[in-house]
Amino acid sequence: MSLETPAPLTPYPRHGSNSGQPISRRDGELKVTGQATYAADNHPPGLLYAVTAVSSIARGRVAALDVAAAKAHPGVVEVITPANRPPLSHDPDVKLGMFGFRIEVLQDDKVRYANQPIALVLAESLEAAVEGAALLRPRYEVEPARTGLGNGDRYAPAAVGVGAPPRTAFGDLDAGFAAADQVIEAEFTTPAQFHNAMEPHAVVAQWDGDHLTLDMPNQALVMSREAYAAYFGVPGENVLIRSPFLGGGFGSKAILNGPQILAILAARHMRRPVKLVLSRAQMYGPVGHRGRTWQTLRLGVDGEGRLTAMHHHSLAATSSFEDFLEPAANASLHAYASPAILSQTEGLRLDIGTPGPMRAPGEASGSAALEVAMDEAALACGMDPLAFRLKNFAETEPGTGRPYSSNALRECYAEGAKAFGWAGRPLQPRQMRDKDGLLVGWGMGTALFPCPHFPAEARATLRADGTALVETAGVDMGQGAWTALAQIAAEALGLDPEQVEFRSGVSDLPDAGVAGGSGHTASAGLALHNAGQNVIARLAELAGADPASPLFGAGNIGVVAKGGRLHRRDDEGRSESYADILARTGQTELVGTGRMARDEEAVQAWAMYSHGAVFAEVKVDPDLGMVRATRLVGAFAAGRIINPKLVRSQYYGGMIWGVSFALQEAAIADPRTGRIMNADLAEYRIPVNADVPSLEAILVPEDDRYVNPLGVKGVGEIGITGTVGAIANAVWHATGVRVRRFPIQIEDLLGGG
Amino acid sequence: MNRFDYIRPASVAEAVAAATQPGSAYLAGGTNLVDLMKGGALRPDCLVDISRLPGLDRIEWLADGGLRIGALVRNADLAHDALVQARFPAVSEALLSGASAQLRNVATLGGNLLQQTRCPYFYDTASACNRRAPGSGCDALQGENRSHAVLGWSDHCIATHPSDLCVPLVALDAVIEVQGPQGSRGIPLETLHPLPGDTPHLETMLSPGELITAVRIPAEAIAVAGHARYLKVRERTSFAFALVSAAAGLELDGGVIRKARLALGGVAARPWRARVAEAALEGGPATAEAFARAAEAALADARPSGDNAFKIELARRILIRALQEALAGTPEQRPALPASPFAPPSGARHVA
């Protein structure tokens, strides 16, 4: 479809009032009273405990393991090593599908990174398994570890992130820079960060013949079911994954990892249920992380403060055997209007566990660099950072020129700035102090996140009593899917949420896709919406064809479902309850199905993003270099908001993560050994409550008629994207010191005094 | 977990007898030891659980006005004792700046003194560490060491002692009471932790089996109560060890410093009493220049042990700040963020 042809305006029907209500989490009480069952809470009879022994070197091979000593320890029943590992039906060195990663499952004696599993110990108790693993006392043949720029192998990748091109160019970059009055160039580094979900990766695996039941936290139930089935050579429907609650996922529980495969294999081998729970330290390796980046930004600006060219280059670290690269440079592709944009990513192979998607993959680390570079460019132009961004506001999608399906970014800027009190901010740094003499700085950043959708299906069943059952294999990792998805379903059914039983979190339900990419509410929600509409349509058909119904003959006019009744659209006084319709037509229940479906022409014609603006205040001790984020105001527009309470919580969480990224989080690997020296929550710093500033999240209204029939965009990841740069810019504004290495540390700010 | 013996003696004498056996370790709150055992850094053969020993959990005021704190007094109980707070405010503030509320409810005074360094190479059993495994080397020396020692270190060990509490305690001339196979004795806290030299594995002056039963703070130390602060530079507002910290207490006579008590934390393998700096201040005016000179004197012998040169300047500055705050007077209300250089948000009452 050409841009000259406007996409059709689809008048999506809106009825009911469940969506938009700030309903509290329906599973909240279960969680705060300890009744919510997480994977590791399951203890089937006959359970064996599995513990992985992990490598303390980053590269080389395991020359010897004292298996005899481990097996001699009371309670240890088996030790699985590369020498005796039972076979798998899929080669772990071969990718499996779109989200498939090569994994480490004792296929050989090679060590590819520190903390790689090198054996699995099975015992009657956790304590015995832990000690058995310790008794293995591996002997290694060590090769020098590649741990950084100096010794890693650079390469030109075929793709970045999940299948994005490594190089994207719009316009004539040379011409753009030639037309610039100034070129701002800056280099940034971002560290390895780990998801550190509160709940560790865990699995309780039980085989019954060739049927497998897995209790595990999982962000992509049906997709994972198929992948596990492939590894074990059974049909997908033989695998049941139960994942009612996740104690956080952040991207790390969507992809298959080696340790869980080993535990499942052990369960089959031992003919007993097996439980594996990774320790915190063991999560720093085989279950993904946000990879390190070394980024260079070049921005050309003309005499009026307009961008003439943007060049974002990123060198991104990955493992020696896999290819996931943090797509940081792509954050600059669609953020600001520029006649020429080039994003490029190179890879750097290190002896590390494979990185993977982590909350706002690419956007988080890429926008951290971009938003600081934009701040530097604004200063170079003598412009207020907000004015500079407005000057370079993208009226249409940069590069493609596509119109936005909706874009309330201007309103986000305006409302955020107003709530924060941005007006009157001095352009120069070190201009503001509080009454105690602390340096005060204000900074801002633009937040942006695309709107991916995933295939999803759902089923809705109207019951004889007029209530409904809706089903989809959705994922609640804390974001509130149990609640928001039920609200969408209830609205489509014209029922109150209390009248809707929502089944989710199990892989034998209709596929709800991946809880990732900030697309779960839209994707699974659409499927539920369509399933609800489908069953209502079938109900209307029954009623319309029944001469005894007050809705008889309403077929062409249509009906409206609300309050558990169908009403004639032209005369809402004529209605009948679902229960009565079903009873009179002799149905005990009525089933409808639906899937995620969008107008594909609209998807191609319109650019779809969630937008936001984040404003930050920090205070810095002028002598000690200590930084405290004191205020954060974020204004976000993400289409229709299903549950403002949950959405606000998502924004808060993202913004807090931004504080963490900017000021605290980093995994510290010894450059000689590649071992991570702070693989625990004491030394890998994330904010405590006292580090969290005053937070305000403004929900800017936005009506999007194209993104999908619900008008819903994503909210899960956008909060982190503008915040990191906003805080870094505020630190500069407070101190005059431009720190381009994350996290910002005390020694970076100690200089001047 | 490896198998070990666990015994719960009924008396100090029984405890001492049991702990004199090689391979045994005292267990009180367990907040450090159990972590070390889980990680495999320490593997004692026998745990001597002293947590229920009678009589060691009392806070007593002695006839001479001094304070005697039983070794099993919990951090939280000591921190929130009203008289301790009034007479030794820096002790209370240091305690509340350490660990988390949950840990402070469990951790004991004796354990705080004897806690291990947080050098990651000590915890990582695959690393060389002379402190953990004598003669194996020090992987911290060329490793990740931005938080390591700048005073009193050697090529054999650059670890720091992590305690907050010990910093004001050494400034206040605290003495520990120990009981051992040879009877009881007192040891100035300042000398409890030897500098590493070429024997970093000799972590304390205690002989095998010797048990800390109490800590005494002399009555004279109360004289700085009106001008005392503990300040801590850390990279998270709670649940983080000090990058550097300082305890400062002043006894003033008009504008003249009669007595100064200064100590630094996070800079050495022991809580670091800054006596040279004290001497530089005593008898002189309490001015910014004097504080700066004292800070110079305190760090005169400092040298980086790695990527931590910034800690020397940072230590000077936190010492100067602590002196300024001490001069300004002990806050009437405990600060909302104990030991934080950030001024308390007005009206907030917050224990981090």
Residues of B in contact with A136 (CB under 8 A): none
Tokens of A201: 């990766």
Q: Is B139 an interface residue toward A (CB < 8 Å)?
A: yes
State how far residue B99 is from chain A, nearest Cα, in angstroms.
Answer: 10
Residues of B in contact with A140 (CB under 8 A): none
Residues of A in contact with B122 (CB under 8 A): none
Rounded to an integer, what is the distance from CA A669 to the centroid of its chain?
25
State how far residue A391 is from chain B, nearest Cα, in angstroms.
Answer: 37
Q: What is the pLDDT of residues A112-135, one digit of tens each?
A: 999 999 999 999 999 999 999 999
Whether residue A7 has pLDDT greater than 90? no
State how far residue A435 is from chain B, nearest Cα, in angstroms.
Answer: 10
Going by pLDDT thresholds of 50, 70 and 90, the confidence category of residue B274 is very high
Q: Which of A131, A457, A702, A717 is catalytic?
A: A717
Closest partner residue to B144 (CB to CB) among A131, A621, A668 is: A668
CB contact under 8 A, B317 and A675: no
Residues of A in contact with B320 (CB under 8 A): 623
Residues 6+ apart with CB under 8 A from B146: A747, B306, B307, B308, B310, B311
Do A616 and A662 lie in one domain? The reply is yes
State how far residue B125 is from chain A, nearest Cα, in angstroms.
Answer: 9
ipTM, two decimals, is 0.96
Whether residue A3 has pLDDT greater than 80? no
Pairwise CA distance, residues B260 & B227, whole Å: 10
Burial of A398: CB neighbours in 10 Å, binned 0-12, 13-18, 19+: buried
Q: Is B146 an interface residue toward A (CB < 8 Å)?
A: yes
Q: What is the pLDDT of residue B118?
A: 97
Going by pLDDT thresholds of 50, 70 and 90, the confidence category of residue B13 is very high
Q: What is the pLDDT of residue B1?
A: 58
HEC-encoded secondary structure of chain B: CCCCEEECCCCHHHHHHHHCCCCEEEECCCCCHHHHHHHCCCCCCEEEECCCCCCCCCEEECCCCCEEEECCCEHHHHHCCHHHHHHCHHHHHHHHCCCCHHHHCCCEHHHHHHCCCCCHHHHCCCCCECCCCCCCCECCCCCCCCCCCCCCCECCECCCCCCCCHHHHHHCCCEEEEEECCEEEEEEHHHCCCCCCCCCCCCCCCCCCCEEEEEEECHHHHHHHHHEEEEEECCCCCCCCCCEEEEEEEEEECCEEEEEEEEEECCCCCCEECHHHHHHHCCCECCHHHHHHHHHHHCCCCCCCCCCHHHHHHHHHHHHHHHHHHHHCCCCCCCCCCCCCCCCCCCCCCCC
Least confident stretch, A311-320, A554-563, B251-260: A554-563
> B251 in a domain, yes or no?
yes
CA closest to A751 among chain B residues: B310
Q: Is B82 an interface residue toward A (CB < 8 Å)?
A: no
Q: What is the pLDDT of residues B319-328, one digit of tens each?
A: 999 999 999 9
Q: What is the mean pLDDT of residues A637-649?
A: 97
CA angle in degrees (0–180, nearest 5) for A460-A465-A470: 15
Q: Is B325 an interface residue toward A (CB < 8 Å)?
A: no
Q: What is the pLDDT of residue A11?
A: 37
Nearest to B336 by CA among B352, B323, B324, B318: B352
Tokens of B266: 């996070």
> B38 in a domain, yes or no?
yes
Going by pLDDT thresholds of 50, 70 and 90, the confidence category of residue A196 is very high
Q: Is B40 an interface residue toward A (CB < 8 Å)?
A: yes
Do A567 and A480 lie in one domain? The reply is yes
CA angle in degrees (0–180, nearest 5) for B187-B148-B42: 65
A711: enclosing H helix or E strand? none
> B44 in a domain, yes or no?
yes
Residues of A in contact with B146 (CB under 8 A): 747
Whether residue B29 has pLDDT greater than 80? yes
Residues of A in contact with B1 (CB under 8 A): 127, 130-131
A488: enclosing H helix or E strand? helix A481-493
Q: What is the pLDDT of residues A657-699, one digit of tens each?
A: 999 999 999 999 999 999 999 999 999 999 999 999 999 999 9
* DSSP E strand stretches across A596-730: 609-620, 627-637, 694-699
Q: Is B36 an interface residue toward A (CB < 8 Å)?
A: no
Interface residues of chain A, partner chain B, Cβ below 8 Å: 56-57, 127, 130-131, 134, 281, 436, 438, 619, 621, 623-626, 628, 664, 668, 670-673, 675, 677-678, 682-683, 685, 687-691, 745-747, 750, 753
Least confident stretch, A10-19, A26-35, A418-427, B246-255: A10-19
> B254 in a domain, yes or no?
yes
Mutation pick from B96, B241, B310 vs chain A, by most beta carbons of A within 10 Å, is B310
Do A223 and A87 lie in one domain? The reply is yes
* Domain hosting residue A484, numbered range: 454-597
Cα radius of gyration (chain A): 27
Closest partner residue to A675 (CB to CB) among B40, B126, B343 is: B126
Q: What is the pLDDT of residues A90-109, one digit of tens each?
A: 999 999 876 789 999 999 99
Closest partner residue to B341 (CB to CB) among A626, A678, A750 is: A626
Asked if B70 and B55 count as a contact pair (C-beta separation under 8 A), the reply is yes
Q: Is B286 an interface residue toward A (CB < 8 Å)?
A: no
CA closest to B40 among chain A residues: A134
Do A389 and A506 lie in one domain? The reply is no
CB contact under 8 A, B124 and A747: no
A128: enclosing H helix or E strand? helix A126-135
> B239 in a domain, yes or no?
yes
> A719 in a domain, yes or no?
yes
Closest partner residue to A688 (CB to CB) among B125, B146, B237 is: B237
* Domain hosting residue B48, numbered range: 5-52
Closest partner residue to B1 (CB to CB) among A127, A678, A690 is: A127
Asked if A168 and A343 count as a contact pair (C-beta separation under 8 A), the reply is yes
**Residue with tokens 């030109």, as numbered in its chain:** A156
CATH of the domain at B11: 3.30.43.10
Least confident stretch, A2-11, A130-139, B170-179, B290-299: A2-11
CB contact under 8 A, A624 and B317: yes
Q: What is the pLDDT of residue A188?
A: 98
> B23 in a domain, yes or no?
yes
Quote the mean pLDDT of chain A: 95
Q: What is the pLDDT of residues B201-243, one digit of tens each?
A: 999 999 999 999 999 999 999 999 999 999 999 999 999 999 9
Tokens of A70: 């481990």
CB contact under 8 A, A624 and B318: yes
Closest partner residue to B342 (CB to CB) among A130, A621, A683 is: A621
If one counts the domains in chain B, the total is 2
Asked if A21 and A484 count as a contact pair (C-beta separation under 8 A), the reply is no
Whether residue B352 has pLDDT greater than 70? no
Whether residue A22 has pLDDT greater than 80? yes
Going by pLDDT thresholds of 50, 70 and 90, the confidence category of residue A753 is very low
CATH of the domain at B302: 3.30.390.50
Residues of B in contact with A58 (CB under 8 A): none
Whether residue A5 has pLDDT greater than 50? no
Do A243 and A124 lie in one domain? The reply is yes
Closest partner residue to B120 (CB to CB) among A626, A672, A678 is: A678
Residues of A in contact with B235 (CB under 8 A): 664, 685, 745-746
Residue A220 three-state SS: coil
Do A394 and A492 lie in one domain? The reply is no
> A129 in a domain, yes or no?
yes
Whether residue A243 has pLDDT greater than 70? yes
Mutation pick from A55, A118, A624 vs chain B, by most beta carbons of B within 10 Å, is A624
Q: Is B341 an interface residue toward A (CB < 8 Å)?
A: yes
Quote the mean pLDDT of chain B: 95
Mutation pick from B102, B237, B244, B350 vs chain A, by most beta carbons of A within 10 Å, is B237
Whether residue A12 has pLDDT greater than 80? no
CB contact under 8 A, B235 and A745: yes
Residues of B in contact with A436 (CB under 8 A): 343
State how far residue B240 is from chain A, nearest Cα, in angstroms.
Answer: 7
Do A60 and A77 lie in one domain? The reply is yes
Going by pLDDT thresholds of 50, 70 and 90, the confidence category of residue A554 is confident
Do A346 and A412 lie in one domain? The reply is yes
CA closest to A619 among chain B residues: B342
CA closest to B144 among chain A residues: A670
State how far residue A72 is from chain B, nearest Cα, in angstroms.
Answer: 13
Whether residue A567 has pLDDT greater than 70? yes
CATH of the domain at A439: 3.30.365.10
> B333 in a domain, yes or no?
no
State how far residue B210 is from chain A, nearest Cα, in angstroms.
Answer: 30
If one counts the domains in chain A, the total is 3
Do A328 and A385 lie in one domain? The reply is yes
> A471 in a domain, yes or no?
yes
Do A493 and A563 lie in one domain? The reply is yes
Closest partner residue to B321 (CB to CB) among A438, A624, A688 is: A624
Q: For this structure, is A665 an active site residue? A: no
Do A541 and A639 lie in one domain? The reply is no
Q: What is the pLDDT of residue B240?
A: 96
Q: What is the pLDDT of residues A409-439, one digit of tens each?
A: 999 999 999 999 999 999 999 999 999 899 9
CB contact under 8 A, A664 and B235: yes
Q: What is the pLDDT of residue B346?
A: 43
Whether residue B334 has pLDDT greater than 90? no
Q: What is the pLDDT of residues A702-735, one digit of tens each?
A: 999 999 999 999 999 999 999 999 999 999 999 9
Q: Is B232 an interface residue toward A (CB < 8 Å)?
A: no
Do A481 and A543 lie in one domain? The reply is yes
> B61 in a domain, yes or no?
no
Residues of B in contact with A619 (CB under 8 A): 342
Q: What is the pLDDT of residues B65-112, one digit of tens each?
A: 999 999 999 999 999 999 999 999 999 999 999 999 999 999 999 999
Pairwise CA distance, residues A733 & A563, whole Å: 55
